[in-house]
Amino acid sequence: MKRNLLSSLGAAALCLISVSGYSQTGTLSISTDSKTTISKHIYGQFAEHLGHGIYGGFWVDKTLPVKKQDRIRLDVVEALKKIKIPNLRWPGGCFADEYHWRDGIGPTALRPRMVNTNWGGTTEDNSFGTHEFLELCSLLKCEPYVAGNVGSGTVEEMSKWIEYLNSNSTSTVVKERIKNGHPAPYNVTIWGVGNESWGCGGNMTPEYYADLFKRYAAFAKDYPGAKLKKIASGPNSDDYNWTEVCMKNIPNWLMSGLSLHYYTIPTGNWGKKGSATEFSEKEYFNTMVNCLKMEELVTKHSAIMDKYDPGKKVALVVDEWGVWTDVEPGTNPGFLFQQNSLRDALIAGTTLNIFNNHSDRVRMAALAQTVNVLQSLILTDKEKIVLTPTYHIFDMYKVHQDAKYLPIKLDAPNYEVDGKKIQAVNASASQDSTGKVHISLVNLDMHNAITITTELKDVKWSTVKGQVLTSANITDINTFANPNKLHLVSFTGAKKDGDKLVVTLPAKSVVTLELQPL
């Protein structure tokens, strides 16, 4: 890859160059009239037994010369703790519906091996099981989100797993947990009842799944200190009938959430998705069109949910999202390893803005996936580690976790390619417990800086500071040889103009601003 002549100055220099050129304009209005909280669980992550996500990502060989606790890789843990990931979903994904939890407990040497039929036909040795996952969550200081096996498992199997983890009785299964080294209950409260039951989880109809959910959920018992949040396997993308049937047939009191899965496919073609690192402006534009479809999906699924649940007791849980490209050349196609460019950062910022703006219904989500798979936060290669551009977006956006949602009205210019148009800027805003207002803005335009003048109703503020992520090229990536090509830098393109905020967004950038209250 051509060496970036601005690398010694970083993105800050690029930012100054971008904002000094031609700039289009738009307006933003932000209100404090809201009683909605942006749940921290929107910023969740996903770790599946897939490729090098678990093995080689979180769980490494004992001989690898990195800091470890048992075989848990601690530099990965520390990086994720920095961005305050609130939950981690496991063991899948498609793998969840062929996973039998008893295979992953007890002495490691005695655990049975299995074939991972979904992802590459590799041998799964079950050395990373329930106790290892929950130790990882403890180190990360995040909540575990366990996906139960409905596709090939039984009601009893899932019920006993819950008892094993959460009961403080003297039952045989609890004694087994104690024997395996954990006397106290784990109190795991977030449970997925199957995964993609319309597809790899069983190829079910929504009517059949809704009945099956009620059966499994009836035997998924609460224990003292562990009232369950049961997440139903919801629709694939725009399957609105699935949502309709589940919301109609499953009582609101029985489920806490309905999942939604949607991936941004650059080409829109699952057979040939497109490269993660080599794409034209037209391909970039089409990718962003597909990314923005999340707004339509969330809006339409939420409207169906509102019919049956006007009190919004059931969350829309977008627990698989992200960009899915062709794998990197020379890698196992079943491992779904892809690089992560500035384009992916813009997708992450845009999607999180959509979730923030729908936080009355979207109260949980999970990026697919955390390490070495799909739109990863982190890439590893033996002892080496890279934080991707997407990681830096989650670092920038962590200020919105559990903050008060602030409604916005945005009028921005269009970004046009080959006669097609999308709005160039998207945004979201929140106010934290100290009164600080945070505004995140994404400029999708590859060429033009855009100046946004913001009116903040009922917000009294004194100073503004911010961070920006951008780069010279939309295809720029972080590599093991150059791990810091894209990183966050201080942003100086915002100023106070009377009672208004004026910010000039560089082309192809993500900016988060912090307004200090008076």
Longest Cα–Cα distance in the chain: 72
Distance CA 399, CA 96 (A): 32
Helix (H), strand (E) counts: the chain: 10, 28
- Indicate which residue of 48, 124, 143, 196 is catalytic: 196
Distance CA 424, CA 419 (A): 14
Q: Residue 157 catalytic?
A: no
Q: Residue 196 catalytic?
A: yes
Written as one string, the DSSP assignment of 98-143 is G--GGGGSS-GGGSPPEEETTTTTEEE---S-HHHHHHHHHHHT-E
Distance CA 459, CA 436 (A): 10
From the list 214, 208, 206, the residue with the least C-alpha distance to 234 is 206
Distance CA 138, CA 158 (A): 22
Q: Which helix (H) or strand (E) holds 27?
A: strand 23-30
Taking the alpha carbons at both ends of the chain, their separation in whole angstroms is 47
From the list 265, 230, 261, 229, the residue with the least C-alpha distance to 243 is 261
From the list 212, 207, 323, 304, the residue with the least C-alpha distance to 263 is 323
3-state secondary structure 56-99: CCCECCCCCCCCEECCEEHHHHHHHHHCCCCEEEECCCHHHHHC
Written as one string, the DSSP assignment of 143-165 is EEEEEE--SSS-HHHHHHHHHHH
- Indicate which residue of 207, 320, 328, 383 is catalytic: 320
Q: State whether residue 4 is helix, strand or coil.
A: coil
Instruction: Quickly tell me which residue has 């109609």 as its tokens.
Output: 248
**Is 239 in contact with 302 (CB distance < 8 Å)?**
no
Distance CA 316, CA 301 (A): 8
Question: In this structure, what DSSP letter does residue 406 have?
Answer: E
Distance CA 234, CA 102 (A): 26
Q: State whether residue 451 is helix, strand or coil.
A: strand
User: What residues act catalytically?
Assistant: 196, 320
